[in-house]
């Protein structure tokens, strides 16, 4: 057998081969480096093959060198093969250095238990053996094991080195174990290691990660030598603990001391500014980046952009975005997410999506998640359909998150059929998708479908969450299924361990209130483990209005006004209740209260989308270019409705005025103008979709039912509370909303 080491490679290549190589590589320095590296690799491979096949009997140092290579490349199978050879030759028992290399190679291959076996069999462990094993544990996330082994090392009378301490400190930091950290700190002071730059940095970072900024600062102030890592750790630590002032202090001191912040300093500080929505400090950091002439790489630019977007400073974000010399997917997603969260920016969001695609950038799941969440608050079904098409083009429509967002988007845009179609085509469904569908059905008043969907979900073995139950309970109350609702409410905690929140209690109040069972509704209020919030009182008030339950209604309104004294809707609801009971003076008093408290009722407004354009109407609106045609259509409808037996319910007009005038006020409520416009501009056969900012009034509700029958059209109205599907003279809400 041959004895070989890396120092004597000539047995593999002839002299001329080697010379030939070096003469080629001498032409260029880069080529030289690259080809010598390649040569080196080939030699090692040959050596490895020789050893493993038993053709070459290698020296300790060759094994050591090959194990180092295995550690670098994380090649477990070769490490194991070498290990077998070493055992066969009886090398590991006697040679600590070789065993240390084995430990190191195993931990780098993430094979911690094998490393430990080798470690346990070393008869004479030195500081390198201990350090290799401890850092191996720490690197692989076995933080407790790292700390325990460190303690064993000290007990064995072994003195750690800076690497050992660095590893054990990082393990402590990841555990967030401040007590262990303090013990390590004590040991470090006793042994004088605190003057070492690496240990100081690790100690400081450990205290930051454990959330003790005071201790971190003490270590930091005493450090003889600070590097960019320690400065960055301190800075991030202060921002994370909410001490923005100190963070900036450190940031400034860092620059004064001549240490240049690196990409990580900037990105980490900026990202935290974004998470905490602190725009001003973020802006200052941005200014600092410009002032110091820091090289603006794409990650740094993205961090600035993302910070502005998350802080709601959409104009600054846009300026940043527009000025970026290079943009990647992260940049596009950041700006789109920013716009999708800003108010009234649906158009801009959609424009950006288009520009992104024109720029050759492929939108991904995150892009669509943002865009879809944005159009769920808009009104545009047409645009929603466009986005749906884009998700198909981008090949992400089958993703479960995108599918769920599409369901929510369609159901919020009023098209439960489209939502259902998306749901039906989904290959994977998770709790979010099932819940989106259940909530969609419930909001549209399709209680039976919602409950059937819930049963199907349970059969599919998907565990519901607390939002699913909001859908289920509201479906029960819409359908008047009091007993079912009660059962679901109980099983939520019993079978799924979900504690009811305020929303669930509001659903129960609604369930009993709708059914006119006020004693039970009040019972729920009393049994609630927390103070009823505005939502619960508003729900009760709504139920009282339906059933003309004056006393409970008054009580609910008083409670509601204590919590939300500025809420005009409560005053209006209460005064409407008085008015419909004929108690005019009480109604007038409420109006007076509103005036005295300077509460202004939000004017009713309705929107309709025709050919990608949204048209807005207020009551008695005369501003639309087609006003004449709209009013003519309304007049025609009024005659037809009267003939069909419609009697205006003038209780919904407050003041004690002439009946005829009341009728005319009612007849020109904003939603009727929108419906009339829809009838003259949307081809027949297509449903008319209206969005209203307030609750639909009782008389408009009745009139719309009549209209749907007379013109033979489906009319979908989304008001402040829910959806109404008017069809053939009936509404999906069963006259309760």
Q: Is 190 exposed, middle or buried (0-12, 13-18, 19+ CB in 10 A)?
A: exposed
Q: How many residues does the chain have?
A: 737
Task: Find all residues with CB under 8 Å of 50, minimum gap 6, and list them.
Answer: 2, 4, 56, 58
> Least separation, in Å, of the C-beta of 485 and Zn ion?
20
- How many residues lie near Zn ion (CB under 5 A)? 6
> Least separation, in Å, of the C-beta of 442 and Zn ion?
14
Q: Which residues pair with 188 in a beta bridge?
A: none
Closer by beta carbon to Zn ion, 220 or else 646 = 646
> Least separation, in Å, of the C-beta of 511 and Zn ion?
18
From the list 170, 168, 147, 162, the residue with the least C-alpha distance to 194 is 162
> Least separation, in Å, of the C-beta of 422 and Zn ion?
25
Closer by beta carbon to Zn ion, 154 or else 730 = 730
> What is d(CA 426, CA 370) in angstroms, rounded to the nearest whole number?
20
> Least separation, in Å, of the C-beta of 538 and Zn ion?
18
User: What does the per-residue mask of binding to Zn ion show for 614-653, with x meaning CB under 5 A?
Assistant: ----------------------------------------
336 binds Zn ion (CB under 5 A): no
Closer by beta carbon to Zn ion, 335 or else 733 = 733
Closer by beta carbon to Zn ion, 669 or else 713 = 669
> Least separation, in Å, of the C-beta of 587 and Zn ion?
17
> Least separation, in Å, of the C-beta of 683 and Zn ion?
25
**What are the b/e assignments for 545-584, b being 16+ CB within 10 Å?**
bbbebbebbbbbbebbbebeeeeebbbbbbbbbbbbeeee
SS3 605: strand
673 binds Zn ion (CB under 5 A): no
From the list 543, 445, 518, 454, the residue with the least C-alpha distance to 491 is 454
> What is d(CA 378, CA 243) in angstroms, rounded to the nearest whole number?
38
Q: How many CB atoms lie within 10 A of CB 678?
A: 22
- Find the part of the chain contacting Zn ion (CB under 5 A) among 146-154, 295-303, 624-632, 729-737: 729-737
Beta carbons of 355 and 386 less than 8 angstroms apart: no
Closer by beta carbon to Zn ion, 266 or else 726 = 726
724 binds Zn ion (CB under 5 A): yes
> Least separation, in Å, of the C-beta of 606 and Zn ion?
10
Identified binder of Zn ion from the candidate list 108, 185, 313, 669, rule CB under 5 A: 669
> Least separation, in Å, of the C-beta of 612 and Zn ion?
27
- Side-by-side strand order, sheet with 723-727: 613-618, 605-610, 688-692, 715-718, 723-727, 730-731
Closer by beta carbon to Zn ion, 570 or else 704 = 704
> What is d(CA 328, CA 326) in angstroms, rounded to the nearest whole number?
7
Query: What part of residues 161-180 is at the interface with Zn ion (CB under 5 A)?
Result: none
> Least separation, in Å, of the C-beta of 699 and Zn ion?
5
Find the residue with minimal CB distance to Zn ion.
Answer: 700
> Least separation, in Å, of the C-beta of 410 and Zn ion?
20
- Find the part of the chain contacting Zn ion (CB under 5 A) among 93-101, 414-422, 508-516, 668-676: 668-676
> What is d(CA 137, CA 182) in angstroms, rounded to the nearest whole number?
20
- Work out the angle at residue 96's Cα, subtended by the Cα atoms of residues 90 and 102, and round it to the nearest 5 degrees: 75
Closer by beta carbon to Zn ion, 521 or else 696 = 696
User: What does the per-residue mask of binding to Zn ion show for 694-713, with x meaning CB under 5 A?
Assistant: ---x--x-------------
User: What does the per-residue mask of binding to Zn ion show for 187-226, with x meaning CB under 5 A?
Assistant: ----------------------------------------
Residue in the block written with tokens 């291959």: 109
83 binds Zn ion (CB under 5 A): no
Closer by beta carbon to Zn ion, 101 or else 514 = 514
> Least separation, in Å, of the C-beta of 467 and Zn ion?
24
First to last CA, the chain: 92
Which tokens is 438 given?
């259940």
Identified binder of Zn ion from the candidate list 244, 346, 587, 733, rule CB under 5 A: 733
Closer by beta carbon to Zn ion, 87 or else 616 = 616
Closer by beta carbon to Zn ion, 296 or else 651 = 651
From the list 624, 593, 590, the residue with the least C-alpha distance to 607 is 624
Query: What part of residues 38-67 is at the interface with Zn ion (CB under 5 A)?
Result: none
3-state per-residue secondary structure call for 681-736: HCCCCCCEEEEECCCCCHHHHHHHHHHHHHHCCCEEEECCCCEEEEECCEECCCCC
731 binds Zn ion (CB under 5 A): yes
Binding residues for Zn ion, rule: CB under 5 A, are 669, 697, 700, 724, 731, 733
């Amino acid at each position: 057998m041959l004895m070989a080491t890396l120092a004597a490679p000539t047995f593999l290549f002839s002299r001329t081969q080697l010379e030939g190589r070096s003469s080629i590589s001498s032409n260029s320095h880069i080529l030289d480096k690259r080809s010598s590296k390649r040569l080196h690799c080939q030699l090692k491979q040959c050596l490895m093959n020789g050893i493993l096949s038993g053709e070459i009997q290698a020296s300790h140092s060759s094994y050591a060198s090959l194990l180092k290579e295995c550690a670098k490349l994380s090649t477990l199978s070769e490490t194991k093969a070498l290990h077998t050879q070493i055992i066969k030759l009886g090398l590991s028992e006697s040679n600590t250095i070789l065993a240390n290399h084995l430990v190191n190679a195993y931990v780098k291959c993430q094979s911690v238990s094998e490393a430990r076996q080798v470690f346990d069999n070393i008869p004479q462990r030195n500081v390198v053996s201990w350090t290799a094993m401890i850092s191996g544990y720490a690197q692989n996330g076995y933080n407790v094991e790292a700390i325990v082994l460190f303690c064993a090392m000290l007990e064995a009378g072994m003195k750690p080195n800076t690497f050992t301490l660095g590893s054990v400190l990082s393990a402590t930091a990841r555990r967030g174990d401040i007590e262990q950290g303090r013990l390590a700190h004590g040991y470090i002071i006793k042994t004088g290691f605190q003057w070492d730059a690496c240990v100081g940095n690790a100690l400081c970072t450990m205290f930051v990660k454990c959330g003790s900024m005071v201790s971190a600062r003490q270590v930091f102030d005493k450090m003889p030598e600070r590097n960019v890592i320690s400065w960055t750790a301190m800075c991030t630590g202060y921002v994370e603990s909410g001490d923005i002032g100190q963070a900036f202090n450190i940031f400034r001191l860092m620059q004064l001391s001549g240490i240049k912040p690196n990409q990580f300093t900037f990105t980490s500080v900026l990202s935290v500014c974004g998470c905490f929505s602190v725009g001003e400090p973020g802006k200052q950091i941005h200014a600092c980046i410009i002032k110091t002439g820091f090289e603006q790489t794409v990650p740094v630019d993205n961090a600035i952009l993302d910070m502005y977007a998350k802080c709601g400073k959409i104009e600054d974000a846009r300026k940043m975005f527009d000025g970026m010399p290079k943009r990647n997917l992260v940049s596009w997603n950041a700006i789109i997410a920013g716009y999708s969260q800003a108010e009234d920016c649906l158009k801009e969001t959609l424009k950006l999506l288009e520009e992104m695609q024109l720029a050759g950038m492929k939108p991904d799941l995150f892009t669509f998640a943002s865009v879809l969440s944005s159009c769920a608050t808009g009104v545009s079904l047409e645009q929603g359909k466009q986005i749906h098409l884009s998700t198909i083009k981008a090949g992400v429509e089958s993703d479960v998150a995108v599918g769920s967002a599409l369901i929510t988007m369609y159901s919020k845009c009023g098209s439960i059929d489209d939502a259902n179609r998306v749901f039906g085509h989904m290959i994977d469904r998770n709790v979010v998708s099932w819940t989106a569908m259940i909530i969609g059905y419930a909001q549209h008043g399709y209680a039976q479908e919602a409950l059937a969907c819930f049963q199907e979900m349970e059969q599919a073995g998907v565990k519901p969450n607390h939002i699913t139950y909001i859908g289920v309970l509201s479906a029960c109350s819409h359908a008047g299924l009091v007993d079912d609702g009660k059962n679901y409410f109980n099983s939520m905690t019993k079978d799924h361990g979900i504690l009811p929140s305020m929303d669930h209690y509001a659903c129960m109040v609604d369930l009993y209130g709708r059914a006119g069972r006020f004693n039970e509704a009040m019972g729920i209020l009393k049994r609630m483990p927390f103070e009823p919030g505005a939502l619960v009182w508003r729900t009760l008030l709504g139920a009282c209005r339906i059933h003309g339950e004056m006393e409970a209604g008054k009580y609910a309104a008083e409670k509601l006004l204590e919590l939300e004294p500025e809420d005009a809707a409560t005053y209006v609801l209460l005064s409407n209740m008085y008015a419909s009971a004929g108690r005019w003076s009480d109604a007038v008093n409420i109006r007076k209260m509103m005036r005295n408290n300077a509460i202004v009722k939000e004017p009713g407004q309705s929107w309709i989308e025709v050919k990608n354009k949204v048209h807005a109407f207020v009551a008695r609106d005369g501003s639309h270019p087609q006003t004449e045609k709209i009013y003519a259509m309304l007049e025609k409808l009024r005659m037809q409705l009267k003939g069909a037996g419609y009697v205006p319910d003038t209780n919904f007009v407050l003041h004690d005025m002439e009946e005829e005038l009341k009728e005319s006020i009612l007849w020109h409520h904003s939603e009727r103008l929108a419906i009339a416009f829809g009838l003259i501009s949307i081809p027949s056969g297509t449903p008319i979709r209206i969005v209203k900012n307030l609750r639909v009034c009782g008389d408009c509700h009745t009139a719309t039912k009549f209209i749907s029958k007379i013109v033979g059209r489906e009319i979908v109205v989304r008001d402040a509370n829910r959806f109404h599907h008017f069809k053939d003279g009936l509404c999906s809400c069963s006259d309760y909303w």
